[in-house]
Amino acid sequence: MELPFQIAEILERLEGAGFSAFVVGGCVRDALMGETPHDYDVTSSALPKEVERIFGGFRVIETGIKHGTVTLLYKGISTEITTFRVDGEYSDGRHPNSVTFSRDIRDDLSRRDFTINGIAFNPKTGLVDPFGGEADIRARVIRCIGSPGLRFSEDALRILRAVRFSSALGFRVEEETALAMLSRKSDLHKVSAERIFSELKRALCGKDIGRVMLEFPKIFAEILPPLGEQIGYGQGSKYHDSVLYEHTARAVAAAPAEPALRLAMLFHDMGKPLCRSVGEDGECHYHGHAERSAELADGLLRMLKCDNALRGRVCNIVKYHDIPVDTSRRYIRRQLSKHGLDGFRDIMNAHIADDCAKAEFVRPRIEEARRSIALAEEIAEAQPCFTLKELAVSGRDLKGIVPPSPLMGDVLAALLAEVVEEKTANEKNALLDRAREIINEKNKIDKSNAESL
């Protein structure tokens, strides 16, 4: 395993001072899979104070001193160095009551969650792999270190970590581990919303999320109860060839792998069971479900402590995910003025993902949605004004022409509508002229109204 020179030097310095030191966890796993690690975690027998002493000339931040973790800024990179430790009892299903530092790497590896994450490496000793992690990487298996039931009862977040790694790496979950995840799932309520949401987002963006959602429906329903209603829910609609939960899983997997779109697809049909009606032909309809789904999404994302920007973006996608697909310029310009280019692209991408998860005959619509994205990009490039902010005149420019509100707001809205419809150019002089015309028109009408009274 090749190490960046800084990491190799950090290990050498620690060893030079008489300690043992390894890279560990995700970076070893990724390297064994032939991928370049995104960061390197170092674990060492040195205590935090000893690390501070050894790296005297460098900045050392006490990031998690209670758990033996410091962050070292060394020759342009930042690395976490954690002292070998064993965790004491867990009584709350989240944190160990105490941690004890150790001088033995094996102790440290045994507290880690999965065999694939319990491998250490050092250029002199090579791999330290007491739990068969390398073999499990080769067999593409997620397996707990030690007794799965015990490991999940210590920290229920590990249930979601197993889901996340299975989705992100495309590994299956070993049977005993999978059974323990299910029997311990109610402990997820003990875990903080922030930790859950962070793992959920990463699970959703994994390449195997479709399979993983179908394998662990009850775990997804545990964190998002309305998903439970979707399991086994027949949709009674010719557009659909699967039950609602499976449709959701397929739609999530079909969306671009970024949190906003994947979350939007997770929520997009949550309101359906609340909106069902049956037509005369026996077909089920779900009028208003997009709006109901957006309301549910809003509440659940607040519960998960999602930041406002992401929550707003997701809810907007959910609310408008089933607007018509129409490739007329007029329609697209209207949508652009309502949602902006990014917002419209999101909505069409959700539409595409949704259609990918429906019956075969719906698929031709996908091409049309793609075309409408391309058209929207073209329109936005040629004429990038869709909101008042982008209009070439502001209220201040119109002061001498238009009396103050409420008329000012009306005139600005009228000018924007004309620009969006490509009737007037988005240029200051052209818009000032149009404002004068609008006011003249209005005065004429007012005058004739007054005369006719």
Count of helices and strands (H, E) across the chain? 20, 13
**Measured from the CB atom, is 112 or 201 closer to ligand ATP?**
112
Cα 3–chain centre separation:
30
The C-alpha angle 153, 46, 116, rounded to 5 degrees, equals 40
Q: Which listed residue (4, 26, 256, 395) binds ligand ATP by CB under 6 A?
A: 26
- β 141-142/172-173 pair status: parallel
Given the complex with ligand ATP, which of 180 and 373 has the nearer CB atom?
180
- The whole-angstrom separation of Cα 111 and Cα 229 is 37
Residue 158's binding partner out of Mg ion, ligand ATP, none, with CB under 5 to 8 Å set by partner kind: ligand ATP
26 or 93: CB nearest Mg ion: 26
Assess 26 for contact with Mg ion (CB under 5 A): yes
The interface mask with ligand ATP, positions 195-224, x = CB under 6 A, is: ------------------------------
Q: Rule CB under 6 A: which of 153-182 touch ligand ATP?
A: 155, 157-158
Q: Which stretch binds Mg ion (CB under 5 A): 22-30, 98-106, 283-291, 359-367?
A: 22-30
DSSP SS3 for 47: coil
From residue 126, give the alpha-carbon distance in Å to each of 34, 334, 419. 16, 62, 67
CB 113 within 8 A of CB 158: yes
Query: C-beta of 122: minimal distance to Mg ion in Å?
Result: 18
Within 286-305, the residues that bind ligand ATP by CB under 6 A are none
Residues in 351-370 that interact with Mg ion by CB under 5 A: none
Binders of ligand ATP in range 90-119 (CB under 6 A)? 112-113, 117
Residue type, position 266, single letter: L
Q: Which residue has the tokens 């210590």?
A: 154
25 binds ligand ATP per the rule CB under 6 A = yes
User: Which does residue 113 touch among Mg ion, ligand ATP, none (CB within 5 to 8 A, set by kind)?
Assistant: ligand ATP
- Closer by beta carbon to ligand ATP, 157 or else 212: 157
On whether the CB atoms of residues 291 and 319 are closer than 8 A, the answer is yes
256 is an interface residue for ligand ATP by CB under 6 A: no
Which residue, 26 or 130, is less far from Mg ion as judged by CB? 26
Q: Should residue 130 be labelled a site residue for Mg ion when binding is judged by CB under 5 A?
A: no
Question: Of all residues in this chain, which one has the CB nearest to ligand ATP in the complex?
Answer: 26
β-strands 77-83, 69-74 pairing = antiparallel
Q: Are 173 and 133 in contact (CB under 8 A)?
A: no
End-to-end alpha-carbon separation of the chain, Å? Answer: 91
| 3-state DSSP assignment of residue 87 | strand
Q: Least separation, in Å, of the C-beta of 27 and Mg ion? A: 7
Burial letters 43-78, b for 16+ CB under 10 A, else e: bbbbbbebbbebbeeeebeeeeeeebbbebebeeee
Give min distance, CB of 138 to Mg ion, in A: 21
Shortest Å distance, C-beta 76 to Mg ion: 19
Q: Are the C-beta atoms of residues 383 and 295 closer than 8 Å to each other?
A: no
Q: In angstroms, what is the minimal distance from the CB of 61 to ligand ATP?
A: 17
Segments of 98-167 assigned E as strands: 99-101, 120-122, 126-128, 141-142
**Shortest Cβ distance from residue 130 to Mg ion (Å)?**
20
Among Mg ion, ligand ATP, none, residue 68 binds (CB under 5-8 Å by kind): none
- 98 vs 448, beta carbon nearer ligand ATP: 98
Cβ distance to ligand ATP smaller for residue 143 or 434 = 143
Q: By CB under 5 A, tell whether 198 contacts Mg ion.
A: no
Residue placing its CB nearer to Mg ion in the complex, 61 or 356 = 61
Task: Examine residue 187 and tell whether it contacts ligand ATP (CB under 6 A).
Answer: no
Q: Which residues contact 279 (CB under 8 A, 6 or more apart)?
A: 285
Site membership for ligand ATP, residue 133 (CB under 6 A): no
Angle (deg, nearest 10), helices 259-267 and 193-204: 100
Report in angstroms how near the CB of residue 118 gets to Mg ion at its nearest. Answer: 13
Measure the CA–CA gap between 108 and 406, rounded to whole angstroms.
69
Residue 69, CA distances (Å) to 22, 30, 79, 83 in order: 14, 22, 10, 7
Determine the interface stretch with ligand ATP among 151-159, 207-215, 236-244, 372-380 (rule: CB under 6 A): 151-159
Verify binding: residue 340, ligand ATP, rule CB under 6 A: no
Contact (Cβ atoms closer than 8 angstroms) between residue 227 and residue 245 = yes
Binding mask 39-78 for ligand ATP (x = CB under 6 A): --x-------------------------------------
Interface residues toward Mg ion, by CB under 5 A: 26
Task: Report the interface residues with ligand ATP, using CB under 6 A.
Answer: 25-26, 41, 112-113, 117, 155, 157-158
